[in-house]
């Protein structure tokens, strides 16, 4: 953990980065609540885009270690990408221990499952979201509940043994009984991993425009849903290892290692349109236009991007903010990196929050209690000096 | 100048009835200022005064008219400055009473007219704004005659705006107001009726020489304060400073004292010579005491030194302003400030914010209380949180209040005054339509929201004025507020025992709305002593965390966190509970809330 936190401060490719993110933006349809960088239709553009991603990866490869820990292919809907184009990308990825691909249930055919397995994918993250047809409709999702079940079955058929399901709760009109039913339907599929997100009405999305008022009205009732999710899943033997993420608690390491690296403060390289990297004290964000991305790389240039410089204090704040989302302690004080962290933590607030049962002091670090994690943002804001 | 050719007068008017406009026309008509130099409402030199249409600090201007020297002594237009007004009037032999032809007499006109009559001044009544379409000059003149006696034709009808008949006002001043009758060869005595502070020349006193002669360079002695200084320069205002060799009996002018502290020369004091001076001072000096108190705290605690410096600077110009450091566990370091009244408080707050660019939190105002402790000692209390819990007796200040309203609103005003613990004194008809009501009211009720209530219940038709009438026994209780089990000093209040329960209940209800939900339950209690009289709870939040946070979300998430953190900084911490500043003002509007329900 401390090694990852300290690999900053040089600015030149260092061959030390062990986490790679690849963005494939294409979707059959843009869901109303989505604020990711997506591109709808345009199947003729897929091969050109894949070539651009490969070109960017080559430009940036000197950042990466020879063997990386994790690669995460996200979207969009990566599995909506034309199979030939998808293979071009998968084949050029560096060797790694975990290779995750995001998929929408309706895209998971036996052929696709085979393709993923044959090209080194070790983990599939399925965007199930809900098992209630009416709620899926509100979310503008194309898959039916049976598509989700069929997709899991298909993946199991080609021996995928690390499947994650995404669920969304807090959908306008969702009752507590609906939530219980969704959780129980998801558990019935015995996924290794579950990500459960409260629907966030981000400003500017079509969804917020249509449902923002309904969500605001529901806000107080929805407060209890998070607790309900945590209670149900931990009761079913899952480990609540990050605010929104749960994994089966058995002998295998089933946490999402890619994201775990990021939450622990490791650097990561992101390639593709809209992709974000954090490299040696800089955060880069490729701009979201597919056309400009492809043409820049075709012309042998870097894609257009924004760069944000992260000074030591900012990095420490981020480390604290991310680390406290986990069920493991964040080291504060002691060695170098943790010493910087100590400077952004208000010791008086730590004591006060510990008194209130929101923070626990463990060895040289701090960790949030169950109630502290439910209130994680408020607690973190309070902890900052 | 020979005293027989001197006339000293003031102009008395309600706000907006045209006092400043009339003064401007007089300056023009007497060619004291040229057209080119004319700036509207020249006498009101502070920006704030011009904006609010009121005169805060009196000044004096000398003009010449048909071989006479006329000194116009401006008076502050508001009740808070009654003492200053009375000193200005004492410097005159006459007063021009201006009444708006459309509005008629208002409570402030009345209060100042009574002061003028008490000071034995000759009154020249004027009806102004006769050019307005809504003007009723005869009606307004009839009210004046009803009030002062005399004949309707003695009331001069003018338009200060157009200048119509302003010459008749000047003629009337010369004809009707008697000249000063001081003893020219006696040891000098000069009444200080105002002062201001000049950063280069120190305190400048405005004086009326009653007897004798004050020469430049004389060593002077202020008899009440015992302050000695040299008259570095003497002169009159026209309207800039015009130095002269000496000020003679009957004349009005200024004295440059070189003093660096206005509190060493108070309004009402008598100047004489240090050697060979007068034996006794002029009558009527009074040490003005603040009656209304409030805590002033910088919103950002780092601004405390700036606030201290600003108060020091303001005090140079405003001897009536009182302040002392106050430490509140809820609001941090600030000052307990004493004011003559609510307007004075408003003016000080606005000047601090505007001229010194300070962001202030002003607590609910309260009055001064005289408290007899168990051991028999009397104590003056300026802050509810300092009211001893064990007391023998409490006295609170009362005012004699005068309200003028159209007769249809008499019932509404009486109801309000009764709610505010008022004691009816008498009622009289000023005209067929308008009634003057006189009540004795606790000042503590007036500083709360009396004026707002009066305005709203009479649709703005009532005018109101008051005079401090001394201290009386009160059946009062101190109500404390506890947030999260901890007493919040800045929220304590003192209420009449019959109203304490209701006010406590309203206050905790308001606080429950103002205090955001926190990470734990926050009980809010109102208590008298150890007895809790009302309780509410702000329920804890159950969730406060963004679900999703991956590589692409970190910057946005960090900015949200920083925003959340900044929001917390704007809150005041009371025993670990974050209380927004607005909560400290909740106590201000309690009764207003009650009416809305």
| Lowest mean per-residue pLDDT among A47-61, A111-125, B104-118, B203-217 | B104-118
What span, in angstroms and rounded, lies between the C-alpha atoms of B172 and B156? 9
Q: Residue B300: CB partners within 8 Å, gap ≥ 6?
A: B359
3-state secondary structure of A329: coil
User: Any idea what the Cα angle at residue A70 is, between residues A69 and A73, rounded to 5°?
Assistant: 165
pLDDT of residue B372 exceeding 90? yes
pLDDT band at B301 (very low <50, low <70, confident <90, very high): confident
pLDDT band at A84 (very low <50, low <70, confident <90, very high): very high
Q: Answer yes or no: do B250 and B397 share one domain.
A: no
User: Any idea what the Cα angle at residue B568 is, between residues B565 and B569, rounded to 5°?
Assistant: 90
Tell me which chain A residues have a C-beta less than 8 angstroms from the C-beta of B555.
Answer: 276, 283, 285, 308
Given CA atoms A129, A132, A138, A142 in this order, what sign does their dihedral have?
Answer: positive
Is B280 domain-assigned? no
Q: What is the pLDDT of residue B78?
A: 59
pLDDT band at B559 (very low <50, low <70, confident <90, very high): very high
Report, in angstroms and rounded to the nearest whole number, the Rg of chain A calculated over CA atoms: 21
Tell me which chain B residues have a C-beta less than 8 angstroms from the C-beta of A274.
Answer: 552
Is B334 domain-assigned? yes
Give the mean model confidence (pLDDT) for residues A82-91.
Answer: 96
Closest residue, chain B, to A313 (C-alpha):
B558
Given CA atoms A249, A253, A256, A262 in this order, what sign does their dihedral have?
Answer: positive
Report CB contact under 8 Å: B552, A380. Answer: no
pLDDT of residue B583 exceeding 70? yes
Q: What is the pLDDT of residue B590?
A: 65
pLDDT of residue B575 exceeding 90? no
pLDDT of residue A8 exceeding 80? no
Closest residue, chain B, to A167 (C-alpha):
B547
Using the 3D structure, point to which of B363, B395, B413 is the last residue of a domain.
B363
Read off the pLDDT of residues B418-451 as tens digits, 9 standing for 90 and up: 999 999 999 999 888 889 999 999 999 888 778 8
pLDDT of residue B315 exceeding 90? no
What span, in angstroms and rounded, lies between the C-alpha atoms of A110 and A123? 16
Longest dimension (CA), chain A: 60
Report CB contact under 8 Å: B551, A318. Answer: no
Q: What is the pLDDT of residue B528?
A: 93
Q: Answer yes or no: do B314 and B351 share one domain.
A: yes
Tell me which chain B residues have a C-beta less than 8 angstroms from the C-beta of A359.
Answer: none
Q: Answer yes or no: do B527 and B548 share one domain.
A: yes
Tell me which chain A residues have a C-beta less than 8 angstroms from the C-beta of B571.
Answer: none
Report residue A140 as tokens.
């503008």
Report residue B572 as tokens.
């005041």
What span, in angstroms and rounded, lies between the C-alpha atoms of A337 and B506? 52
Cis amide bond preceding B239, omega within 30: yes
Q: What is the pLDDT of residue A58?
A: 96
The rounded mean pLDDT for chain A is: 91
Report CB contact under 8 Å: A378, B541. Answer: yes
Report CB contact under 8 Å: A374, B555. Answer: no
Question: A 17-76 residues with CB below 8 A of B?
Answer: 21, 36
What span, in angstroms and rounded, lies between the C-alpha atoms of A57 and A301? 12
What span, in angstroms and rounded, lies between the C-alpha atoms of A191 and B187? 107
Q: Answer yes or no: do B36 and B160 share one domain.
A: yes
| Lowest mean per-residue pLDDT among A86-90, B133-137, B298-302, B394-398 | B298-302
| Lowest mean per-residue pLDDT among A158-162, B258-262, B569-573, B592-596 | B592-596
Is B512 domain-assigned? yes
Q: Answer yes or no: do B31 and B152 share one domain.
A: yes
Tell me which chain B residues have a C-beta less than 8 angstroms from the C-beta of A34.
Answer: none
Report CB contact under 8 Å: A374, B542. Answer: yes
pLDDT band at A151 (very low <50, low <70, confident <90, very high): very high
On whether the CB atoms of residues B416 and B478 are closer than 8 A, the answer is no
Give the mean model confidence (pLDDT) for residues A145-159.
Answer: 96
Number of Cβ within a 10 Å radius of residue A307: 10
Q: What is the pLDDT of residue B109?
A: 80
Instruction: Count structural domains, chain B.
Output: 5
CB of B566 within 8 Å of a chain A CB? The answer is no
Is B287 domain-assigned? no
Residue B72 dihedral angles phi and psi, to the nearest 5°: -95, 115
On whether the CB atoms of residues B197 and B264 are closer than 8 A, the answer is no
Closest residue to A243, CB basis, from B547, B552, B568: B547
Beta bridge partners of A63: none
CB of B560 within 8 Å of a chain A CB? The answer is yes
Closest residue, chain B, to A256 (C-alpha):
B550
Report CB contact under 8 Å: B552, A197. Answer: no
CB of A223 within 8 Å of a chain B CB? The answer is yes
Q: What is the pLDDT of residue B56?
A: 37
pLDDT band at A3 (very low <50, low <70, confident <90, very high): very low
Q: What is the pLDDT of residue A6?
A: 41
Report CB contact under 8 Å: A381, B549. Answer: no
Place of tokens 């309207």: B239
Q: What is the pLDDT of residue B588?
A: 65
Question: A 104-163 residues with CB below 8 A of B?
Answer: none
CB of B120 within 8 Å of a chain A CB? The answer is no
Domain coordinates in residue numbering, chain A: 2-263, 312-383
Mutate to test the interface with A, among B518, B552, B560 (most CBs of A within 10 A): B552
Using the 3D structure, point to which of B239, B273, B307 is the last residue of a domain.
B273
On whether the CB atoms of residues B155 and B169 are closer than 8 A, the answer is no
On whether the CB atoms of residues A52 and A102 are closer than 8 A, the answer is no
Q: How far is A93 from chain B (nearest CA, A)?
A: 19
Q: What is the pLDDT of residue B79?
A: 58
pLDDT: is A293 or A209 the higher one? A293
One-character DSSP codes across B274-286? SSS--SSPPS---
Question: What CATH number labels A312-383?
Answer: 1.10.10
Q: How far is B335 from chain A (nearest CA, A)?
A: 28
Report CB contact under 8 Å: A378, B555. Answer: no
CATH code where residue B346 lies: 3.30.70.870
Nearest to B473 by CA among B364, B376, B372: B372
Question: B 250-279 residues with CB below 8 A of A?
Answer: none
On whether the CB atoms of residues B9 and B178 are closer than 8 A, the answer is no
What span, in angstroms and rounded, lies between the C-alpha atoms of B294 and B368? 10
Given CA atoms A168, A172, A175, A177 in this order, what sign does their dihedral have?
Answer: negative
Closest residue to A375, CB basis, from B545, B558, B568: B545
CATH code where residue B392 lies: 3.30.70.240
Report CB contact under 8 Å: A270, B546. Answer: no
| Lowest mean per-residue pLDDT among A67-81, A302-316, B336-350 | B336-350
Is B443 domain-assigned? yes
Q: Answer yes or no: do B329 and B262 share one domain.
A: no
Read off the pLDDT of residues A230-239 as tens digits, 9 standing for 90 and up: 999 999 999 9
Report CB contact under 8 Å: A379, B543. Answer: no
Q: What is the pLDDT of residue A2?
A: 37
Read off the pLDDT of residues A199-225 as tens digits, 9 standing for 90 and up: 887 777 778 888 888 877 877 778 899
Give the mean model confidence (pLDDT) for residues B169-185.
Answer: 95
Q: Answer yes or no: do B484 and B450 share one domain.
A: no
Report residue B171 as tokens.
């003629």
Question: A 313-352 residues with CB below 8 A of B?
Answer: 314, 317-318, 321-322, 325, 352
CATH code where residue B55 lies: 3.40.50.300
Q: How far is A153 from chain B (nearest CA, A)?
A: 27
Q: Answer yes or no: do B439 and B531 share one domain.
A: no
Closest residue, chain B, to A222 (C-alpha):
B543
Nearest to B340 by CA among B365, B305, B361: B365
pLDDT of residue B187 exceeding 60? yes
Closest residue to B544, CB basis, from A275, A317, A377: A377
Q: What is the pLDDT of residue B53?
A: 42
**Residue range of the domain that includes B241:** 189-273
Q: Answer yes or no: do B459 and B482 share one domain.
A: no
On whether the CB atoms of residues B503 and B493 are closer than 8 A, the answer is yes
CATH code where residue B488 lies: 3.30.70.2570
Read off the pLDDT of residues A38-55 as tens digits, 9 standing for 90 and up: 777 677 889 999 999 999
Closest residue to B543, CB basis, from A223, A270, A308: A223
Length reported for chain A: 385
pLDDT of residue B540 exceeding 80? yes
Q: What percent of chain A has pLDDT over 90?
A: 73
Residue A335 dihedral angles phi and psi, to the nearest 5°: -70, -175
Q: What percent of chain B has pLDDT over 90?
A: 50
Using the 3D structure, point to which of B149, B176, B203 is the last residue of a domain.
B176
Beta bridge partners of A362: A365
Report residue A114 as tokens.
């085979």
Q: What is the pLDDT of residue A338?
A: 66
Give the mean model confidence (pLDDT) for residues A273-292.
Answer: 95
Question: B 486-545 residues with CB below 8 A of A?
Answer: 518-520, 541-545
Given CA atoms B31, B33, B37, B41 in this order, what sign does their dihedral have?
Answer: negative
Q: What is the pLDDT of residue B362?
A: 86
Report CB contact under 8 Å: B561, A356. Answer: no
One-character DSSP codes across B109-138? HHHHHHHHHHTT-EEEEEEE-TTSTT--HH
Q: Answer yes or no: do B260 and B397 share one domain.
A: no
Length reported for chain B: 597
Task: State which H helix or E strand residue A342 sits in.
Answer: helix A336-344
Closest residue to B542, CB basis, from A223, A314, A358: A223
Q: How far is A88 from chain B (nearest CA, A)?
A: 24
CB of A275 within 8 Å of a chain B CB? The answer is yes
What span, in angstroms and rounded, lies between the C-alpha atoms of B17 and B51? 15
- Top mean pLDDT of A2-11, A21-30, A275-284 is at A275-284
Residue B245 dihedral angles phi and psi, to the nearest 5°: -75, -35
Read off the pLDDT of residues A234-276 as tens digits, 9 standing for 90 and up: 999 999 999 999 999 989 999 999 999 999 999 999 999 999 9
Is the CATH code 3.80.30.20 the one for domain A2-263? Answer: yes
On whether the CB atoms of residues B475 and B499 are closer than 8 A, the answer is no
Read off the pLDDT of residues B23-51 as tens digits, 9 standing for 90 and up: 888 988 998 876 656 655 455 455 544 44
Q: Answer yes or no: do B309 and B424 share one domain.
A: no
Question: What is the Cβ-side half-sphere exposure of residue B578, based on CA atoms within 13 angstroms?
Answer: 19
Q: What is the pLDDT of residue B365?
A: 87
Tell me which chain B residues have a C-beta less than 8 angstroms from the C-beta of A223.
Answer: 541-543
On whether the CB atoms of residues A356 and B520 are closer than 8 A, the answer is yes
User: Any idea what the Cα angle at residue A159 is, between residues A157 and A165, rounded to 5°?
Assistant: 85
Number of Cβ within a 10 Å radius of residue B567: 13
Report CB contact under 8 Å: B545, A377. Answer: yes
Q: Residue B432: CB partners within 8 Å, gap ≥ 6?
A: none
pLDDT of residue A337 exceeding 70? no
pLDDT band at A226 (very low <50, low <70, confident <90, very high): very high
Is B471 domain-assigned? no
Q: Answer yes or no: do B77 and B221 share one domain.
A: no
What span, in angstroms and rounded, lies between the C-alpha atoms of B26 and B498? 54
Alpha carbon A154 to its chain's center: 23
């Amino acid at each position: 953990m401390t090694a990852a936190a300290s690999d900053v401060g040089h600015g030149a490719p260092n061959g030390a980065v062990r986490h790679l993110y690849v963005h494939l933006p294409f979707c059959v349809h843009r869901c109303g609540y989505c604020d990711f960088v997506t591109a709808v239709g345009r199947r003729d553009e897929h091969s050109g885009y894949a070539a651009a991603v490969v070109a960017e990866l080559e430009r940036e490869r000197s950042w990466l270690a020879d063997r990386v820990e994790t690669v995460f292919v996200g979207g969009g809907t990566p599995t909506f990408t034309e199979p030939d184009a998808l293979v071009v990308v998968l084949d050029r990825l560096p060797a790694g221990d975990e290779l995750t691909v995001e998929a929408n249930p309706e895209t998971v055919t036996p052929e696709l499952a085979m393709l993923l397995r044959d090209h080194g994918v070790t983990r599939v993250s399925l965007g199930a979201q809900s098992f209630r047809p009416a709620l899926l409709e509100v979310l503008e999702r194309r898959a039916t509940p049976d598509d989700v079940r069929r997709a899991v079955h298909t993946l199991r058929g080609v021996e995928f043994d690390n499947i994650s399901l995404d669920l969304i709760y807090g959908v306008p009109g969702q009752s507590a009984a609906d939530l219980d039913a969704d959780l129980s339907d998801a558990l019935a599929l015995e996924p290794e991993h579950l990500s459960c997100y409260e629907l966030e009405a981000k400003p500017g999305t079509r969804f917020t425009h249509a449902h923002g008022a309904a969500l605001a009205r529901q806000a107080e009732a929805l407060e209890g849903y998070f607790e309900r999710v945590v209670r149900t899943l931990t009761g079913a033997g899952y480990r609540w290892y990050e605010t929104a993420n749960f994994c089966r608690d058995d002998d295998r390491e089933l946490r999402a290692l890619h994201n775990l690296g990021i939450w622990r403060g490791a650097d990561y390289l992101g390639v593709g349109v809209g992709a974000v990297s954090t490299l040696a004290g800089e955060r880069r964000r490729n701009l979201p236009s597919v056309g400009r991305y492809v043409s820049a790389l075709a012309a042998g240039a870097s894609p257009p991007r924004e760069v944000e410089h992260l000074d030591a204090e900012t990095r420490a704040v981020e480390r604290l903010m991310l680390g406290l989302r986990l069920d493991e302690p964040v080291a504060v004080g002691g060695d170098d990196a943790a010493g910087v962290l100590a400077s952004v933590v208000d010791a008086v607030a730590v004591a006060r929050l510990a008194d209130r049962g929101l923070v626990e002091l463990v060895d040289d670090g701090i960790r949030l209690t169950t109630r502290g994690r439910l209130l994680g943002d408020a607690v973190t804001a309070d902890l900052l000096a | 100048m020979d005293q027989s050719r001197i006339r000293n007068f003031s102009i008395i008017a309600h706000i907006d009835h045209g006092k400043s406009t009339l003064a401007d026309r007089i300056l023009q008509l007497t060619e004291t200022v040229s057209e080119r130099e004319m700036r509207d409402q020249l006498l009101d030199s502070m920006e704030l005064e011009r904006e609010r249409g009121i005169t805060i600090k009196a000044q004096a201007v000398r003009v010449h008219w048909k071989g006479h020297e006329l000194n116009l002594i401006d008076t502050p237009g508001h009740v808070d400055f009654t003492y200053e007004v009375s000193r200005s009037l004492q410097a005159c032999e006459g007063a021009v009473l201006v009444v708006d032809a459309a509005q008629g007499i208002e409570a402030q006109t009345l209060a100042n007219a009574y002061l003028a009559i008490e000071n034995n001044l000759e009154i020249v009544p004027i009806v102004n704004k006769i050019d307005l379409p809504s003007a009723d000059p005869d009606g307004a003149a009839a009210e004046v005659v009803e009030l002062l006696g005399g004949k309707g034709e003695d009331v001069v009808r003018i338009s200060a705006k157009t200048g119509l008949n302003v010459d008749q006002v000047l003629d009337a001043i010369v004809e009707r107001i008697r000249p000063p009758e001081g003893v020219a060869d006696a040891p000098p005595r000069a009444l200080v009726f105002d002062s201001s502070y000049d950063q280069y020349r120190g305190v400048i006193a405005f004086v009326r020489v009653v007897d004798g002669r004050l020469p430049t360079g004389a060593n002077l002695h202020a008899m009440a304060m015992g302050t000695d200084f040299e008259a570095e320069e003497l002169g009159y205002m026209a309207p800039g400073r015009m130095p002269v060799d000496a000020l003679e009996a009957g004349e009005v002018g200024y004295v440059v004292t070189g003093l660096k502290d206005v509190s060493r020369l108070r309004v009402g004091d008598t100047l004489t010579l240090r050697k060979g001076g007068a034996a006794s001072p002029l009558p009527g000096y009074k040490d003005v005491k603040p009656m209304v108190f409030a805590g002033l705290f910088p919103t950002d605690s780092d601004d405390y030194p700036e606030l201290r410096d600003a108060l020091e600077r303001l005090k140079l110009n405003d001897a009536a302003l009182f302040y002392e450091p106050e430490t509140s566990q809820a609001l941090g370091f600030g000052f307990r400030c004493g004011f003559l009244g609510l307007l004075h408080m408003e003016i000080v707050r606005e000047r601090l914010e505007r001229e010194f660019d300070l962001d202030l939190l002003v607590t609910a105002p309260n009055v001064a209380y005289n408290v007899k402790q168990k051991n028999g000692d009397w104590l003056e209390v300026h802050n509810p949180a300092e009211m001893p819990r064990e007391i023998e007796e409490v006295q609170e200040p009362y005012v004699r209040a005068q309200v003028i309203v159209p007769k249809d609103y008499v019932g509404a005003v009486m109801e309000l005054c009764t709610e505010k613990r008022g004691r009816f004194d008498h009622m009289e008809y000023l005209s067929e339509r308008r009634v003057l009501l006189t009540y004795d009211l606790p000042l503590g009720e007036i500083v709360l929201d009396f004026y707002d209530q009066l305005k709203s219940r009479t649709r703005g038709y009532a005018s109101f004025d008051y005079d401090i009438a001394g201290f009386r026994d009160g059946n009062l209780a101190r109500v404390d507020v506890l947030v999260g089990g901890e007493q919040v000093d800045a929220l304590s209040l003192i209420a009449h025992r019959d109203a304490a329960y209701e006010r406590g209940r309203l206050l905790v209800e308001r606080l429950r709305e103002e205090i955001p939900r926190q990470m734990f339950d926050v009980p809010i209690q109102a208590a008298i002593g150890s007895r809790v009289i009302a309780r509410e709870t702000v329920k804890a939040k159950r969730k406060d965390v963004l679900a999703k946070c991956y590589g692409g979300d970190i910057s946005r998430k960090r900015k949200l966190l920083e925003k959340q953190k900044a929001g917390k900084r704007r809150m005041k911490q009371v025993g670990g509970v974050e209380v927004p500043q607005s909560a400290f003002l909740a106590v201000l509007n309690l009764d207003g809330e009650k009416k809305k329900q």
